[in-house]
Amino acid sequence: MDLAYLGRLCKGDRSRMAEYIALYLQEAPRLFAQLGALANKQDAEQLAQTAHGLQPHVHYMGDERLYILLDHIQECASAQGTAACKESVRECIALNQELMHALIQWSTTDPPTTNR
């Protein structure tokens, strides 16, 4: 997790960053569950599109591993079909769980204070 991009998006405003992170924590489980469900169906195009749609959100959270894995799922789904993507999708879901845990920790930790 690297919140530098989100910080630039929110002009360093921690409360705005918290606002976006709260929405991510709310939406991400549904979106990644959707990814998991599609990996068990035959709709490679929809799986690829769903993986593609998730990329900006994980980019905001600075999770490069997840971003690259979602890229891989798109290529894999298009070239080999959904069955070949199941392992990658499972890994994606697990990585998102880690990310969400880190985001919750960030949200519940007080920002560092400047010593004067």
Binding site for other proteins (CB under 8 A): 5, 8-11, 16, 19-20, 23-24, 27, 31, 49, 52-53, 55-57, 59-60
Nearest approach, Cβ of residue 25 and other proteins (Å): 11
Q: Least distance (Å) from other proteins to the CB of residue 15?
A: 11
State the distance between the two ends of the chain, measured CA to CA, in whole angstroms: 29
Among residues 50 and 82, whose Cβ is nearest to other proteins? 50
Q: Please provide the DSSP assignment of 5-39 as one string.
A: HHHHHTTT-HHHHHHHHHHHHHHHHHHHHHHHHHH
